Amino acid sequence: MTRMLLGFVVVGVLAGICAAQFNPNVLCDRTSIVHLFEWRWEDIAAECERYLGPNGFGGVQISPPNENVIVKNPDRPWWERYQPASYKICTRSGDEHQFRDMVTRCNNVGVYIYVDAVINHMCGAGAGKGNVSTCGSPYDTIKREFPAVPYSSVDFNDKKCKTESGGIENYGDANQVRDCQLVSLLDLALEKEYVQSKIADYLNVLIDIGVAGFRVDAAKHMWPGDILAVNRKLNDLNTRWFHNGTQPFIYQEVIDLGGEALSVNEYIGIGRVTEFKYGAKLGNVIRKLNGEKMSYLKNWGEGWGFMQSDRALVFVDNHDNQRGHGAGGASILTFWDARLHKMAVGFMLAHPYGFTQIMSSFRWPRNFVNGKDVNDWVGPPSYNNGSTMAVTINEDTTCGSGWVCEHRWRQIKNMVIFRNVVNGQALINWWDNGNNQIAFGRGRAGFIVFNNDNWDMDVTLYTGLSPGKYCDIISGQKEGNVCTGKQISVSENSLANFVIKSSDEDPFVAIHVNAKL
């Protein structure tokens, strides 16, 4: 942990930045980011300092920081954040002053900020006319006027879209997907140099404040060349925290499960791309749907038809598909299935494929009608006036007030550390029983074992680790020279016995060199 804490020194932050194309810009000893969905800026700043920095998290994806319309029917849904009214930094997460404070404080402890950038569209056509927005900026969706930007009717794709409704009617038609309205959201004419410049101006303000990169929302609904044109207008990152000439990290939301007119291959030359097949297929395996088995994961990654690893951003679930939107359907594992979810995240963080993102959620009152959750719109924990509740921390370090905070679950936090420890080490010493018991090592730095069968596991395996006693970081953790969970003894010939009952709270075990007793 001492090496991780060096990130608290800004000089150490500058010295530790890796340089590579499509680089997430995290410190070299950090390998994962967390999506603190709908958190307030002041809560994120505090979390960077008290938890994320000390535990080796590389960064935070935040909710869109630009001004959005206030939607009161339904009452302040989470998706109002994806209905821009302007590019002012002013939302229920906080104002520009609080945003700047968050970026500075997080950067100073080596935890970088990645902005969810909504640049494909402005708010929905049904928002009407008025100034019911988070900063009071006026807008008129009928006339297509957003004076706070400013945009006018000539800056939208209404005339370019050829469908009768003005919306996407056929996802097999690439022109419709990119030129027509996505669920009535006013589609910006991104091929116009003026629109590109207004978007770049907004993103450059964020870059100058100190953010490290962007998730490009709805990238599938924009022409790749237009996204690239915006990227070319972006500044290099702020040299207070990043080396001179460092470019912002770009990862694009492109849902491609196959069978449509668009492909992730059209976007991988621009930046990383969200690999939605990852969580969908891993969920099938962990849930044992359609005859899938964990033993089939031996060639996980490109062997499963995924994009190349150095272009992929991966996750078990995200804010859309945990609510049944986006991709994956019933196969997606979320905090509602905590036992299986932890196992899936554990596998993701142990396996070398892709750059990993962890979801940190809030609860909502699920209500299924005909198989659909009719409460999937519910916004974050809020007070009666609609403002977002603070994230409270319980004595056991979990979160309260409706915040789930999966990133604070011991098993997930310790696997974030595991991934940091084994970073750069090859996947070796694979073992499986032909069903749902598997194990593999990461060089001589770590070893992980899973039992997802309906019977107990008792096997002796070659770990590749040096002899000694190790603390299992899933059932507990190393505290000084004491292990609060299971202890695993590795023999002189690197063998270890693993006993995992099918009824165990967490049916997997992980050890690494920094957990040696």
Residue 253 annotated to the active site:
yes
Cα atoms in the 13 Å half-sphere on the side-chain side of 493: 5
Q: Quick one: CA torsion of 42, 15, 354, 21, rounded to 10 degrees?
A: 110
Cβ-proximal residues to 170 (8 Å cutoff; 6+ apart), any chain: 163, 176
Cis peptide, bond prior to residue 74, ω within 30 of zero: yes
SS (H, E, C) 189-209: CCCCHHHHHHHHHHHHHHHHH
Q: Which two tokens stand for residue 76?
A: 């302040």
- Among residues 47, 155, 226, 253, which one is catalytic? 253
Q: Report the SS3 class of residue 415.
A: helix
- Rounded to 5°, the CA angle 116-311-343 comes to 80
Question: How far apart are the C-alpha atoms of 97 and 94, rounded to whole Å?
Answer: 8
Residue 38 annotated to the active site:
no
Burial (Cβ within 10 Å: 0-12, 13-18, ≥19) of residue 126: exposed
Cβ-proximal residues to 490 (8 Å cutoff; 6+ apart), any chain: 463, 465, 466, 467, 468, 469, 470, 496, 511
- Among residues 43, 80, 217, 320, which one is catalytic? 217
What is the distance in angstroms between the CA of the first residue and the CA of the last residue of the chain? 14
- DSSP H or E stretch at residue 116: strand 112-117
Question: How far apart are the C-alpha atoms of 376 and 5, rounded to whole Å?
Answer: 39
- DSSP H or E stretch at residue 345: helix 338-350
- For residue 117, list its beta bridge partners: 216
Q: Report the SS3 class of residue 166.
A: coil
Burial (Cβ within 10 Å: 0-12, 13-18, ≥19) of residue 30: buried
φ, ψ for residue 338 (rounded to 5)?
A: -55, -45
- Report, as residue numbers or ranges, the catalytic residues: 217, 253
